[in-house]
Amino acid sequence: MDTLRILKGHGTGNDFVIVPDPDGSLDLPPAMVARLCDRRTGIGGDGLLRVVRSAAHPEAAAMAEEAEWFMDYRNADGSVAEMCGNGVRVFVRFLVREQLVAPGAVAVATRAGVRHAVIGADGPDGPAEVTVDMGPARLPGPDGIVVRVGERSWPARNVNMGNPHAVAFVDDLDHAGELRTAPTVTPAAAYPDGVNVEFVVDRGERHVALRVHERGSGETLSCGTGACAVMVAAARRDGLDPARSGQPATYTVDVPGGRLRITERPDGHVEMTGPAVIVAEGRIDPDWLATG
Ligand SMILES: N[C@@H](CCC[C@H](N)C(=O)O)C(=O)O
């Protein structure tokens, strides 16, 4: 690799290094991803979005007819994740900016399947928000999940948005402490591949706020899949189930980096709407790459 074009983007403060690689020709081992995501010695990011044509990637080739582009998402530690909600909005923003797709309906292949997004034209008030059909939530259980931080513990709900989440309702977001290390979640068997943990408080009617500790990235300013998991957990707690009532349920979910609007539809699909921003673009110094 002599040089590498990269961009930097974020969605509600969840930030990503974007690596265009249409032909899927780059070798991006976990150590290189971690170097690029390092906030002091690299570009810095909660994760990395590699932009690859679905047909050029073995994990996405089967989705190529439905979605031309594959979001190869990696966490900041280099680990692979199935899905990233903020990431998919930023990914769509990137595709439109590069004129790789037209504004409007955009399908994106992910490891959790194809996700369908809608992005409008930018207006006088700034860039259009992006809405993504995040698919249905699964609530696989078991009962009795507990999240612990230091001396405190809370019951939690297992919500899967393509990736795993433990959602704990708490009295005060500060009670989760510094979150420098991952909360302990038991039983461990509920999450064989690790877990993202959300701490949630109520802010008003159908309005909640969260903090999140992400698998592979630590505490972040936002998590789109986490916000969707939180919305569904809050709806069930509040006695709402659109699949049974036939009525959609919409919640405002505040994250440390902004605000997302999440709707669960009667068909069970969860829609997320929020901003997606491209911050910068440039090239990685070939010497830096070579000394990895
Ligand atoms: N920040 C993302 C989620 C990224 C993946 C997650 N850390 C995992 O390992 O599942 C989002 O916005 O959803």
pLDDT of 123 over the 90 cut:
no
Question: What average pLDDT score do residues 66-78 get?
Answer: 98
The 10s digit of each residue's pLDDT in 162-171 is 999 999 999 9
Q: How far apart are CA 10 and CA 87, in angstroms?
A: 8
Give the pLDDT of residue 1. Answer: 62
Query: Is it the case that residue 292 has pLDDT exceeding 80?
Result: no
Annotation marks residue 223 as catalytic:
yes
- Strand duo 258-264 + 4-11: pairing: unpaired
134 CA to centre of ligand 1 in angstroms: 13
Q: Is 228 annotated in the active site?
A: no
Q: Which residue is catalytic, options 200, 223, 227, 253?
A: 223
Q: How far apart are CA 9 and CA 90, in angstroms?
A: 6
Average pLDDT over residues 194-217: 98
Q: pLDDT tens, 230-242?
A: 999 999 999 999 9
89 known ligand binder: no
- pLDDT for 174-186, tens place per residue? 999 889 999 999 9
Residue 2 has pLDDT above 90, yes or no: no
Q: Which two tokens stand for residue 238?
A: 């509040």
Q: Is 74:48 a contact under the CB 8 Å cutoff?
A: yes
Predicted confidence (pLDDT) at residue 122 exceeds the cutoff of 90: no
User: Is the per-residue pLDDT at 117 higher than 80?
Assistant: yes
Whether the pLDDT of residue 210 is over 90: the answer is yes
* Range 190-208 average pLDDT: 98
| Pocket test residue of 214, 219, 259 for ligand 1, highest count of atoms within 8 A of CB | 214
Query: What's the confidence (pLDDT) of residue 120?
Result: 85
Residue 54, pLDDT > 70, answer yes
3-state DSSP assignment of residue 79? coil
ipTM: 0.99
| Average confidence (pLDDT) over 140-166 | 97
Distances (CA, A) of 9 to 70, 280, 289: 17, 7, 21
The predicted structure's pLDDT at residue 207: 98
Record the pTM.
Answer: 0.97
Residue 16 C-alpha to ligand 1 middle, in angstroms? 11
The answer to whether the CB of 100 falls within 8 A of the CB of 71 is no
> Residues 163, 164, 168, 172: is their CA dihedral positive or negative?
negative
State the pLDDT confidence band at 38, using cuts at 50, 70 and 90.
very high
Taken in order of first residue, the domains within the chain and their CATH numbers are: 4-129+276-290 (3.10.310.10), 145-273 (3.10.310.10)
- Please work out whether the CB of residue 219 comes within 6 Å of at least one atom of ligand 1: no
Which residue's CA is the closest to the ligand 1 atom numbered 4?
A: 84
3-state helix, strand and coil shares in percent for the chain, rounded to the nearest 5: 20, 45, 40
The pLDDT of residue 127 is 83
Q: Whose CA is nearest to atom 2 of ligand 1?
A: 84
